[in-house]
Amino acid sequence: MMKISRVGIAALWLVSVVTERASAQQQPLTLKEAVAMAQRQGMPARAAMSTRDAARARDRSFGARLMPQLTLSGTAPSYDRSIIPVIQPDGSTLYTPLQQTRSTAAMTLSQRLPFTGGIFGITSQLDRVQISGAQSRQTWSSTPVSLSLSQGIMRPNTIKWDTREQDIGLDLAERQYLEAREDIAAQTTTSFFDYHSANIALKNAQANALVNDTLYTLNKGRFEVGKIGENDLLQSQLALLRSRASLDGAKLEFDRAAAALRLALNLPSGAPLEIVVPYAMPTFEADTTIAVAQALANRASQLDLDLQRVRADRAINAARLNNGLGATINGSIGFNQTSPEVNGVYKDLLQAQRFSLGVQIPIAQWGARSSDIEAARADRERVESNARATKEQTMQDAHFGALQLTQARRNVEISATADTVAQKRYEVAYNRYVIGKIGMDNLYLAQTEKDGAVQQYVSALRSYWAAYYRLRKVTLYDFEAGAAIK
């Protein structure tokens, strides 16, 4: 029995993988598969996903900062050499050279208070001061534990406002991501049908060039036997030249459309590409009432308006409180001690207390506070006016989006029938021309109508699927599944 080396096994495995991938790429893509691929691996999809992930990360960061924060801080060391004034017992001032080194280490556990906006902290600290020179000495000071509170009175609670903005902002980012996915679906649909339209146009141009070549050969024979005049022969030759020029243009447009679709799907240049056109349409009915209700419930624009309202209310609150009567309370309670030796600073601890109340009373502002409040309220009115306009626009987009989808379905059915009729008429006209029953003008008219009917049918299909994905975007609702898009 022949033995296969490891290299041979690896080569066989590589060939099988390449063959499998090639065969997978050659499978015809449906529109929904193309949309899913673009939403999964396309560059716009990756950008939208990164934007959403950044918003999620910022939300986690915000939530983490509301949790207790443990901080280690210190100075090791701080050196100072200078001449300082020293007040003597008799009241005179003596300028004395000073040379000292100070080291500090502190551990602080702090917690922001969401309901009041204050900051509560627990601190443990150890200091060391080394004085050099003629009176060299060393001093240790400790604060084993100290409880502190800093609280503003009649001042905006920034934590509360930040939390409200962050909650809405995260939901807004999620909705914007869903809308971005539906935008990608619409863009992919456009590229998909551009490719299909170019493919149809190319095949049609090839068929027309072949038919016109056959007709020109036939007409040359007829001209030689005197059955047609030179003018008809020249018209046939001109039609052949035009069909060849159209074929060249169709090839270029096909290559461009194929490259655009590969780019939308993030496929390598030159990758095999074959599609299956969705001639069958979903059977659901797009109810305008459901569309409007879902749009108002799901659209990102509604959350954006909520965020603007919160920011406007915050501005009014800040204008009222920041420029008026206010106070700040700072207090702490704990224990401390000092000693020449480090072991002594934790013995016979003494109680340490601090308290301060800072008051701010504006006396003369020359109308600055009232003007700030007036400006903030005007901004709030602007937000409400924009909100009403945006709501109406959202309702209209959803209402007419549902009607447009229904109309697009009817247009597809009409265009399909017209395409069938035009194709049949052309076949009849061609056969009648070959046997000499009709003139060349009638044949070319039938050919032009046939070409136009094909393109109108493709255009109707494009319009239907564009309306389908547009309705999904303006409502963020899947009418086929009967559920909101997640």
User: In sequence order, what DSSP letters do the residues of 200-214 get, joined into one string?
Assistant: HHHHHHHHHHHHHHH
Mean pLDDT in residue range 304-320: 92
Q: Is the pLDDT of residue 279 over 90?
A: no
pLDDT at res. 3 = 38
Angle between helices 230-265 and 158-224 (to 10 degrees): 160
Above 90 in pLDDT, residue 322? Answer: no
- Is position 403 within any domain? yes
Shared-domain flag, residues 431 and 290: yes
Percent of the chain with pLDDT over 70: 94
Mean pLDDT of the chain: 86
Residues 341 and 433 in one domain: no
Residues 6+ apart with CB under 8 A from 376: 312, 315, 316, 318, 319
pLDDT interval class at 14 (50, 70, 90): very low
Does 191 share its domain with 256? yes
133 and 268 in a single domain? The answer is no
- Lowest pLDDT segment from 14-18, 284-288, 430-434: 14-18
Residue 170 within a domain: yes
Q: Which two three-digit tokens encode residue 34?
A: 């193309």
pTM above 0.85, yes or no: no
**pLDDT greater than 50 at residue 17:** no
What is the domain count for the chain?
2
Residue 20: which H helix or E strand, with range?
Answer: helix 6-25
Identify the domain containing residue 429 by its residue range.
27-58+163-309+382-484
**300 shares a domain with 435:** yes
Once rounded to an integer, what is the mean pLDDT over residues 343-356?
Answer: 88
Q: Of 470 and 446, which is predicted with more confidence?
A: 470
Residue 303 Cα distances to 209, 306, 401, angstroms: 56, 5, 21
249: in domain: yes
Q: What are phi and psi of 152, to 5 degrees?
A: -85, 145
Q: Which of 9-23, 195-209, 464-478 has the highest mean pLDDT?
A: 464-478
The pLDDT value given to residue 225: 82
Which pLDDT score, from 0 to 100, does residue 135 have?
Answer: 67
Span 162-221, pLDDT tens digits: 999 999 999 999 999 999 999 999 999 999 999 998 998 898 889 888 888 888 888 888
370/381 Cα distance (integer angstroms): 16
Confidence of residue 9 (pLDDT cuts 50, 70, 90): very low
How far is residue 304's CA from residue 414's CA, in Å, rounded to a whole number? Answer: 41
Q: Which of 16-20, 30-34, 199-203, 255-259 has the lowest mean pLDDT?
A: 16-20
Residues 349, 410, single domain; the answer is no
User: Do 176 and 269 fall into the same domain?
Assistant: yes
Q: Is the same domain home to 45 and 99?
A: no
- Residue 6 scores a pLDDT above 80: no
pLDDT band at 19 (very low <50, low <70, confident <90, very high): very low
The C-alpha atoms of residue 260 and residue 266 are separated, in whole angstroms, by: 10
- Pairing of β 275-276 and β 29-30: parallel
373-384 mean pLDDT: 92
- The two tokens of residue 406 are 């229904």
In the predicted model, is pLDDT for residue 443 greater than 90? no
Q: Is the pLDDT at 16 greater than 50, yes or no?
A: no
Please tell me the least confidently modeled range out of 77-91, 177-191, 414-428.
77-91
Evaluate if residue 26 carries a pLDDT over 70: no
